[in-house]
Chains A and B, each alone.
Chain A
Amino acid sequence: MGNKQTTFRDEQFEAYQDCTFFTRKEILRLHGRYRELAPHLVPLDYTNDPDIKLPLTLLINMPELKENPFRDRIVQTFSEDGQGNLSFNDFVDMFSALCESSSRELKTIYAFKIYDFNRDNFICKEDMEKTINKLTKGELTPEEVTLVCDKAIEEADLDGDSKLSFADFENMISKAPDFLSTFHVRI
């Protein structure tokens, strides 16, 4: 039906391929997914880099994120304003960091940011308790939650300040063999 409308210019494709772990085809597919979240908001033609952001409520209903207990935190971490509004750049950035070929260091950095609920660059006891409650949806008793929390911090804390800094977190993650395969969203 008429001419094939181009979504991106070639320079844009090259820039995306250099800055993310995706190929050309995958970037087009991501654009399709981004567009189908709000077809009336997101234009097909992205050659002029339009400044469009989708709100948090639309993004956490994506099938890949819908069942994830940390979906709010993931979207907030990758948004520029910290409130969860993602532009297409941020959208691609998010899935690139979480994809299969992403590097371990990158994933560790973002995992730390996701689990740090109060954004003070430490995973303290409250952050841990929130994480465990989100994971288990209240199936564990509060005493069990506190016990698990204390044990986890005790295992990972190296510098003895009873909260996890990034160095502690990174050290703990380096010993977890499944981290790369679990911290991975398939899109």
Chain B
Amino acid sequence: MTSQLQRQGSAAAVQGTGYTGDQGLPRLRRAPSSQSYQNGPQFNWSPASAGREKAEEGAVEPPKSLRSLPIPMALKRAICQVQQMHVPVLSSLQSWKRSKAKSLSRVRSYIGGFLNYITLWRKSLNKIGGNFGGGVQSYFLFLRFLVVLNFLSFMLIAGFVLIPSIVFRSVASGPMNITGPAECLQYDPNPQGLVKFHNYFLDLLTGTGFMESSYLFYGYYNNTMVAGSDFSYNIPLAYLFTAIFYFAFCLLCITARMGTAFRVAVATGGGAIGSYSRIVFTGWDFGCLGDRAMKLKQKNIIYQLQVDLEEERIKNKAATLTLGQKIFLYSLRIFLSLVAFGLIIAAFFSIFAATNFSQGKTGEVGVLGLFFEYLPSIVITAGNFVVPLLCDQIALLERYDPSITVIVALLRSVFLRMVSLSVLLFTLWNQITCKQRVSAEDCTLCHYNYKSYPCWETRVGQEMYKLALFDLIITIAMLVLVEFPRRMVVDGSSSKLAQWVGRQEFQVPANVLGLVYGQTVVWTGALFCPLLPVINTLKFVIVFYCKKITLFYNCRPATKTFRSTWATAFFLLVLLFGWSLGLLVLIYSMAQIHPSMSCGPFRSLISMWTIVPNSFYNLSQTSQDFLFYLGSQRFSIPLFLFFSVVMCYFIALASVHGKSVNLLKTQLKLEARDKQFLVKQIEELSRTLGVAR
């Protein structure tokens, strides 16, 4: 049997035509018309034969190309055996290379299998994708990416800042003596006297008391500079550089991940054209499991087709609008955009007022004190909940196309979330540097408001800590108090209202914006609260399980799909906005504001950045000269020119590729017309010959 297949294999190889040719191939196709077999999916047999030739030259191509051949398995195995039996005459070097390459590919497949095994939550993600589709799965993939990113950042911070601090605190003498006005140096976060038990719980939630004097916040770190005979460690410098490398590391991870997403998005041209054919041929998710999911998938496709037909009708109608109607529509849109903008500004103002109020009320005890502490978080969360709802309604009134409505609503939400956080930070900064206080003499002594903020970095860290914690509490509270009861009401009662409200859908964009907001809080707070990444890792793990539970118990699959390829690229772009906000905060804190004199690793310096020039002059002369050279014009200008040349090359390459793609497309059309012409000629000729006979 093997030899028969062998003969068939070589016979087909000799043929070298499309696989739908009927002799010698085991897969039978009934009566392919002579005209149409050229249109069948062609594949080139030459990879197989070229593989054999290449094997004689010593390359290792056969395994890879075999997998992608659209021929039956039995034939593939036959080809495999034939190739193995072909003993090429190789030199010893070439055969060694071949065997090495083969073992390398085996090792790679083992590593791939191992990585697959230890990948976090792989089975859960598969189950989610099978039941709810790619859009929802992309949210959970994004969440997993953030968990891994935060964990790796924590490893970085722990290795360079946390562990040396712990080691040197127990080994070295105390913090170095610093000079300065006595009032600026007073800072004692430890609670005085007898502490009630419930205060421990309140301290856990607000980051004060026993939590303030712990490694969690900036204020606890010392400015120890250990200098042994052959070992020296400068904690302030390590702290600064770790913060910078943390941001660089996050940027690297995000751009690497964005690269793959954007490559797919650009290659497919955004998918703007061909919506009907796309829905029909790629709409059905073949990996869909479950009867309920299947019915909803069907409804989904029907809905999409109907929406497209409806959009077509609307577009036809819109083209026939009179001038007066058009003016009315545009002025309506401008008016509603202003209304939405006004709502967002109102939200900002309330955050500003709440932050000022909360900072003025520090020192209150008990539950009321807790409420005042959390007031900014509460206002931000309320704003993030209410304003997008109103914006959605406004967007509906504006009568855009359905797809543009989604994008507009999304952009407004992103704007709201990012800028509300920056409003909070701006108000904090104003208070720390007394920009808007009447009594500016609070700041003249120590260059910052030492009366209200003896250790202002810790206070900022505490605000970020509270924001992160409040986010988690709200997520869990929503799960328990809103989502489960909603499902129980909808499933239990049979009233028309309950059926109309229905089970909730999993809103992917809103949830992703929540994740981005949480990560942005971590980035802005990481300089002041070094353990925030690990807290965020735990928080995101809890969020994963909460969202998974709510997805499977409370949600129904969406009737509107969310395109997953475009979505991933968009999420990462929004994450990059958050990152740049964190970077802005980092730069401003490092360069502009005077560090606290009573706490922290930078207590003796004018600004955090001055530690770098100070330590720079401790380096050896050659290192200093080298670094000076790197920063001088003699180095940077040629480097800049080099990068410009490289960029021009890539731009030219991209435009050439684009042009050749267009050329190939026109060639394709011309080929088809040629073929039709030739076929017509053949028919005419055969007719005239037939008539003549």
Contacts and interface: CB of A to CB of B under 8 A. Distances in A.
A156 interface: yes
Contacts of A128: 280
B57 interface: no
B362 interface: no
Interface stretch (B6-14, B412-420, B561-569, B616-624): B561-569
Query: On chain B, which size bracket covers the interface?
Result: 35 or more
B72 A90 contact: yes
A122 to B, nearest CB: 6
Nearest to B42: A166
A146 B41 CA distance: 26
Interface string A76-94: 0000111000010110110
B672 A121 contact: no
A186 interface: yes
A92 B672 contact: no
B73 to A, nearest CB: 4
B68 A120 contact: no
A interface SS class: helix
Contacts of B563: 177-178
A2 interface: no
Most A CB within 10 A of own CB, among B41, B268, B278? B41
Interface string A90-129: 1011001110001101101111110100011110000010
Contacts of B74: 80, 87, 89
A126 B667 CA distance: 28
B43 interface: yes
A106 B285 contact: no
B342 interface: no
A46 interface: no
Interface stretch (B25-33, B171-179, B187-195): B25-33
Interface string A37-79: 0000000000000000000000000011001111000000000
B180 interface: no
B68 A122 contact: no
B487 to A, nearest CB: 24
A28 interface: no
A82 B565 contact: no
Interface stretch (B301-309, B531-539, B584-592, B649-657): B301-309
B280 A121 contact: no
A122 B265 CA distance: 28
Contacts of A159: 668-669, 671-673, 675-676
Contacts of B72: 80, 89-90, 93
B672 A139 contact: no
A153 B280 CA distance: 11
B282 A67 contact: no
B274 interface: yes
Contacts of A108: 41
B288 interface: yes
B39 A121 contact: yes
B417 to A, nearest CB: 27
A147 B306 CA distance: 11
Nearest to A83: B28
Nearest to A23: B113
Interface in B258-296: 264-265, 267-269, 271, 273-278, 280-291, 293-294
B130 interface: yes
Given A18-B63, A175-B274, A177-B565, A80 B41 contact: no
A165 B274 contact: no
Contact of B298 (A80, A106, A136, A155): A136
Question: Closest 8 CB pairs between A and B?
Answer: A159-B672, A89-B73, A67-B294, A177-B565, A121-B40, A152-B277, A19-B76, A177-B268
28 contacts: A18-B63, A20-B73, A23-B112, A64-B287, A69-B284, A97-B70, A98-B286, A111-B281, A121-B20, A121-B37, A135-B283, A152-B276, A152-B277, A152-B280, A155-B277, A156-B277, A158-B669, A159-B675, A160-B676, A171-B668, A172-B274, A172-B278, A177-B563, A177-B565, A178-B564, A178-B565, A181-B564, A181-B565
Interface of A: 15, 17-21, 23, 25, 63-64, 67-70, 80-82, 87, 89-90, 92-93, 96-98, 102-103, 105-106, 108-113, 115, 119-122, 128, 131-132, 135-137, 139-140, 144, 147-148, 151-153, 155-156, 158-161, 165-167, 169, 171-179, 181-186
Interface of B: 20, 26-30, 32-33, 36-37, 39-43, 62-63, 66-70, 72-74, 76-77, 80-81, 109, 112-113, 126, 129-130, 134, 264-265, 267-269, 271, 273-278, 280-291, 293-294, 298, 301-302, 305-306, 309, 563-566, 665, 668-669, 671-673, 675-676
